[in-house]
Structure 1
Amino acid sequence: MDLPHHGYRATKPRARAAPPAADSVLFEDTSSVGPAMNSQGYYTPGYNMEGASNIQEGPGMNNLFADPMASAAMMYGSSLANQGKDMVNKEISRFMSVNKLKYFFAVDTRYVLKKLMILMFPYTHQDWEVRYHRDTPLPPRQDVNAPDLYIPTMAFITYILLAGMALGIQKRFSPEVLGLCASTALVWIIIEVLVMLLSLYLLTIHSDLSTFDLIAYSGYKYVGMIFVVMGGLLFGSDGYFVALAWSSCALMFFIVRSLKMKILPSLSSDSMGTGSSAKPQLRLYVTAATAIFQPIIIYWLTSHLVR
């Protein structure tokens, strides 16, 4: 009887020794930043979530932009952007002067109305001389004789819209046909300007005409083209040819009188200085050829729109 009694008393202390070890694991403090280990010696996951949040909210992240290196990088990037902008503006200025382009769009309503009246009824206009102020031509809104690019641009857009309407009325409209009409009109202007520049260069004719001036004078034909297409749509083929004759004569008269002040400013001085009239005759031929060429382009670009 004593042996079982001693065996029971021997195992009882082992059963009571287990809870203290378990209590030490369950109530271990895991709120510290350092990693905690469980009873098996492994790191407990998620132990330092509070510590990670403290690192993210530290003064290093909040003062990132106050860092001298970051500020220097931002200033260097801004300097590079400004240099790139200056380079782009410089390259554009090589081929196109922005200030000069603004001059051709310096118009107002009064100028536009007067210019349109001169383009359609040039016979009543008397003074064709372009006015200057300190060797600089006055802007179009101050001088009705100054060339502009506003009327040619608006007339070109109106011509394309009117061409689309004419093709739609005749049930021949398609995006391809309208695009071909617009590109053809634009290409003819480019060809005309290039031929004019080449003629002035080969004939060594010195004039006050710039490339923008030639584009403006060539673009005024779109006003006559609008009048021709409208006459054809409203009154048929008879109205088309009447409008074509009127707009052609008016445009030729306008071109001759306008270019005369630019290409033929000093016929007498040239003939007196060289003793020959060849140079004035060449200038006269260039002016006449430019004027005669206008009705041909008008007919070419409008005849297919009216049937």
Structure 2
Amino acid sequence: MDLPHHGYRASKQRGRGTPTGGESMLFDDTSASGMNTQGYYTPGYSMAGPQNDTQAGVSNLFADPMANAAVMYGSSLANQGKDMVNKEISRFMSVNKLKYFFAVDTKYVMKKLMILMFPYTHQDWEVRYHRDTPLTPRQDVNAPDLYIPTMAFITYILLAGMALGIQKRFSPEVLGLCASTALVWVIIEVLVMLLSLYLLTVHSDLSTFDLIAYSGYKYVGMIFTVLCGLLFGSDGYFVALAWSSCALMFFIVRSLKMKILTSLTSDSMSTSSSAKPQMRMYITMATALFQPVIIYWLTSHLVR
């Protein structure tokens, strides 16, 4: 019983001793290295990693009064810039008035498309008002809108790209030229109308947005014409061109009649010239007759 006890004590003493000569230790003994645990948790050092260091830096940044002042100054500059942009936009267009032309719903769009393609069956063309304010397009199918011209323009560009791709003539340059040409023609048409109304001093309810809307309705007929040309060839193209041109001319005359020609009676009492009412009629007819020319110019190169 004493031998194991002494053997255990001897081995324990050898384990505590310093290795000699040929003996080698498998593991270094670091227990006696005099490590100070406080050295690993010195102030300013974070054990949580770079992410917490970044968060701490951001918190310190926003806790700085100078940083808060800089942030507030930057936000005030951003608000001032936003107000200036809105003010400059309001000089050229009214945002509320622009929203009026996009106040549509599905029912209105379907009815308007039917009128554009089959205007001969439509009887009432008068635009309705409520307290001297025209009703929104969703409330009055005769009111002009910009939703259909915008969507029709985008659809026309996509259809033109498909037609050019079918004919192995597609390229980004050709498609960009097609889109820019269609847009430029609308701008020219609107500018000519505005200049004509200004030179003849015609006082009407037509605004620039109204003219853009009436000028943009031609894209509906252009889409129909190109589709018929792709499906039925040149014969189908010319039949669709004739139908859409006649329908659009009828639509333009009946719509502008309520805007331009309704003031003939009131103006004839204040002027002795009889050429002025005739010129108003000429403007309306010229606008209608110009539509087939643009439709043919913008669609003929897409169908071969």
TM-score, structure 2 normalization: 0.79
In structure 2, distance between residues paired with 1:168 and 1:114: 32
Q: Secondary structure at the match of 1:172?
A: coil
Which residue of the partner structure matches residue 288 of structure 1?
285
Q: Letter of the 1:187 partner, please give it.
A: V
Is residue 232 of structure 2 the alignment partner of residue 240 of structure 1?
no
Which residue of the partner structure matches residue 103 of structure 1?
100
Q: Secondary structure at the match of 2:215?
A: helix
Report matched runs for 1:174-193 at 5 Å: 174-193=171-190
Please point out which of 146, 149, 162 is paired with 1:152: 149
In structure 1, distance between residues paired with 2:289 and 2:64: 72
Please point out which of 117, 137, 141 is paired with 1:140: 137
Q: 1:75 to 1:247 in 2, by over 3 A?
A: same
Contact 2:101 2:136 in 1 (8 A): yes
Q: Secondary structure at the match of 1:207?
A: coil
Which residue of the partner structure matches residue 50 of structure 1?
42
In structure 1, distance between residues paired with 2:43 and 2:280: 89
Q: Secondary structure at the match of 1:147?
A: coil
Aligned length: 262
Contact 2:148 2:217 in 1 (8 A): yes
Among the aligned pairs, what percent are the same residue? 88
Q: Secondary structure at the match of 2:169?
A: coil
Please point out which of 296, 302, 307 is paired with 2:299: 302
Q: Over the residues paired in the alignment, what is the CA RMSD in angstroms?
A: 2.6
Is residue 253 of structure 2 the alignment partner of residue 249 of structure 1?
no
Q: 1:62 to 1:146 in 2, by over 3 A?
A: closer
In structure 1, distance between residues paired with 2:258 and 2:280: 11
Report matched runs for 1:1-307 at 5 Å: 50=42, 53=45, 65-307=62-304
After TM superposition, give the deviation of residue 67 of structure 1 in Å. 4.9
Contact 1:270 1:279 in 2 (8 A): no
In structure 2, distance between residues paired with 1:167 and 1:67: 61
In structure 2, distance between residues paired with 1:213 and 1:165: 30
Q: 1:83 to 1:306 in 2, by over 3 A?
A: same
In structure 2, distance between residues paired with 1:174 and 1:293: 29
In structure 1, distance between residues paired with 2:250 and 2:219: 16
In structure 1, distance between residues paired with 2:105 and 2:251: 21
In structure 1, distance between residues paired with 2:196 and 2:132: 26
Q: Letter of the 2:200 partner, please give it.
A: L
In structure 1, distance between residues paired with 2:44 and 2:165: 70
Contact 2:204 2:263 in 1 (8 A): no
Q: Letter of the 1:50 partner, please give it.
A: T
In structure 2, distance between residues paired with 1:166 and 1:69: 61
After TM superposition, give the deviation of residue 61 of structure 1 in Å. 9.6
Contact 2:100 2:136 in 1 (8 A): yes
Q: Give 1 or 2 for the bigger CA radius of gyration.
A: 1
Which residue of the partner structure matches residue 26 of structure 2?
none
Q: Letter of the 1:170 partner, please give it.
A: Q
Q: Letter of the 1:271 partner, please give it.
A: S
After TM superposition, give the deviation of residue 200 of structure 1 in Å. 1.0
TM-score, structure 1 normalization: 0.78
In structure 1, distance between residues paired with 2:59 and 2:291: 70
Q: Secondary structure at the match of 2:262?
A: coil
After TM superposition, give the deviation of residue 237 of structure 1 in Å. 1.2
